[in-house]
Amino acid sequence: MSKKNRLNSSDDRDILSILNSRSVIGGVIVIYALLILFLLFAESGIPWLSRYRATDTVLILLGLLFLPFFIMVSAKMIRSFTVKWAGKELQIDLGEFSEKVEGEFARVEKKIASQVSSAEQALWPMLAGRNHNAPERRRNKKIIIGSKQDLSHVFLANFLAEWLQRKLDGVSCEARIPNGGSLKNFADAQFDWIDLYIDFTGTCCQYFNIEHKNKSDHEIADELNRHFNPIGLKMLNLLGATENYCLVISKELAKERELKTVSDLSKISNSLVFTADPEYLNRRDCYLGLKSEYNFNFRQIHPCRITQRYALLEDRRADVFVGYETDPEIQTYGLVVLEDDKEFFPHYAAAPLVSIGALESIPGLENALNDLAGKITTDNLIEEVRKLSVSEANFAKARKFAVDFCDQL
């Protein structure tokens, strides 16, 4: 570190030390009290202060403006105080109140940050516009496959890369793992930054506000394509595997509170902590709609990375979290999946979502992908996810597992 940087760092520490000193904190309290007294005296009608008279509204707004800062600053000097009247005592703990306020600020800040992060991912390809290098890349038979961070997506992206390189002469595939969330991959495919990725019917329904109830997976796929085609995308034949959402709790909690359905959970949600990744928390087909459907009011919402969910449950930092039916941990840890008794969740059937430009530019691509119809079952996907989980999500091993699976077809 340079001398100049060391000086700046030292100056910063000195400034922070001054700002946190008891004299400065005490000064803030004194100034606040004097200001309120000054305004009160002006309101009392003292002639030489009449010019400073404020309306009641101004006084109220002033008090509301400074009160939170006053309480938080006071709590640093006065942890608690006791009020006595008529032989009774009331103890007020300012420190505890301050910690709760600061904790609420942190919770709101984390929630906003997660929402911005999910939206920001999809915003970049739209701001950048269409990838003008895509036509040349496709003429050279290079295919880019997108992927989310979920282990199922990691396997499927590697599998598609291996499958297409075997089926199409001269084609090379690049699997971008991870490439972002659902919206990021969707936008990347639309603007030709990637050529295809695996999406799920239930996820795609939210893009166009499609009602999923009382429709088969094939009916939904056909309806989706009526929306996809005008924007240059096409959903091809379903692979056969599904990856449905579920709500998961520990066996102990299920037994203790007699929980079997999601409706049972809603009755005690105000005493529990819920955790999920930011994308899930901000989607209408996920937490936002689930909360409305079941009237959830969890004590705390804990955003986490998708790979953290089971660790949070094991450490007892969360009580309820979202799982996938392909999660091997559900069986390994002996967890309980709650019945979606109101049938809120749509069916999530896997299928390639491909740029029409890529289908038109690369001969045989559509047929090669459609040949995968029904080739991968949910049990196959569960097994591949289990192997990846045991290997600690080693991406090199993911490609080997994909090669081995292709050999079996």
Within a domain: residue 92? no
Cβ proximity of 244 and 345 under 8 Å: yes
Tens-digit pLDDT profile for residues 276-288: 888 788 888 888 8
Residue 281 to residue 401: CA distance in whole angstroms? 31
At 79, the pLDDT band (50, 70, 90 cuts) reads low
Query: Are 329 and 262 members of one domain?
Result: yes
Within a domain: residue 40? yes
Query: Are 267 and 331 members of one domain?
Result: yes
Q: Which amino acid type is present at position 266?
A: S
> Quick one: three-class SS letters along the chain?
CCHHHHHHHHHHHHHHHHHCCHHHHHHHHHHHHHHHHHHHHHHCCCHHHHHHCCCHHHHHHHHHHHHHHHHHHHHHHCCEEEEEECCEEEEEEHHHHHHHHHHHHHHHHHHHHHHHHHHHHHHHHHHHCCCCCHHHHHHCCEEEEECCCCHHHHHHHHHHHHHHHHHCCCCEEEEECCCCCHHHHHHHHHCCCCCEEEEEHHHHHHHHCCCCCCCCHHHHHHHHHHHHHHHCEEECCCCCCECCEEEEECHHHHHHHCCCEHHHHHHCHHHCEEEECHHHHCCCCCHHHHHHHHCCCCCEEEECCCCCHHHHHHCCCCCEEEEECCCCHHHHCCCEEEECCCCCCCCCEEEEEEEHHHHHHCCCHHHHHHCCCCCCCHHHHHHHHHHHHHCCCCHHHHHHHHHHHHHHC
More confident position, 355 or 275: 355
Total number of domains in the chain = 3
Query: Are 324 and 358 members of one domain?
Result: no
**Last residue of a domain, which of 338, 369, 399?**
338
Task: CATH number of the domain at 186, please.
Answer: 3.40.190.10
Residue 381 to residue 399: CA distance in whole angstroms? 14
Query: Are 383 and 320 members of one domain?
Result: no
Residue 178, preceding peptide bond in cis (omega within 30° of 0) = yes
Query: Around Cβ 222, how many Cβ atoms within 10 Å?
Result: 12
pLDDT at 149: 84
At 304, the pLDDT band (50, 70, 90 cuts) reads confident
Query: Are 147 and 208 members of one domain?
Result: yes
Start-to-end CA distance of the chain, whole Å, equals: 58
Cα angle, residue 159 at apex, residues 367 and 382 outer, rounded to 5°: 115
Q: Are strands 320-324 and 245-249 parallel, antiparallel or unpaired?
A: antiparallel
Cβ proximity of 359 and 134 under 8 Å: no
Within a domain: residue 74? yes
Within a domain: residue 115? no
Query: Are 67 and 216 members of one domain?
Result: no
At 212, the pLDDT band (50, 70, 90 cuts) reads confident
Within a domain: residue 100? no
Query: Are 208 and 328 members of one domain?
Result: no
Within a domain: residue 117? no
Domain that holds residue 251: 245-338
Q: Which residue has the tokens 């896997």?
A: 350
pLDDT at 3: 41
Q: Which amino acid type is present at position 116?
A: V
**Last residue of a domain, which of 78, 113, 144?**
78
Task: CATH number of the domain at 323, please.
Answer: 3.40.190.120
Query: Are 234 and 259 members of one domain?
Result: no
Query: Are 152 and 287 members of one domain?
Result: no
Within a domain: residue 221? yes
Query: Are 180 and 232 members of one domain?
Result: yes
Query: Are 201 and 151 members of one domain?
Result: yes
pLDDT above 60: residue 384: yes
Residue 260 to residue 90: CA distance in whole angstroms? 43
Query: Are 218 and 252 members of one domain?
Result: no
Going across the sheet that includes 300-303, the strands are: 300-303, 273-276, 320-324, 245-249, 336-338
Mean pLDDT (the chain) is: 81
Q: Are strands 88-93 and 80-85 parallel, antiparallel or unpaired?
A: antiparallel
How confident is the model over 348-356, as a mean pLDDT?
Answer: 97
Residue 365 to residue 359: CA distance in whole angstroms? 6
Cβ proximity of 325 and 243 under 8 Å: yes
pLDDT at 52: 60
Among 91-100, 148-157, 170-179, 203-212, the least confident range: 91-100
Tens-digit pLDDT profile for residues 128-168: 889 999 999 999 999 999 998 888 999 999 999 999 999 99
Query: Around Cβ 359, how many Cβ atoms within 10 Å?
Result: 21
Within a domain: residue 65? yes
Query: Around Cβ 269, how many Cβ atoms within 10 Å?
Result: 19
Residue 277 to residue 149: CA distance in whole angstroms? 11
pLDDT at 214: 87
How confident is the model over 195-212, as a mean pLDDT?
Answer: 93
Among 102-111, 122-131, 168-177, the least confident range: 102-111
Tens-digit pLDDT profile for residues 227-258: 999 999 999 999 999 999 999 999 999 999 99
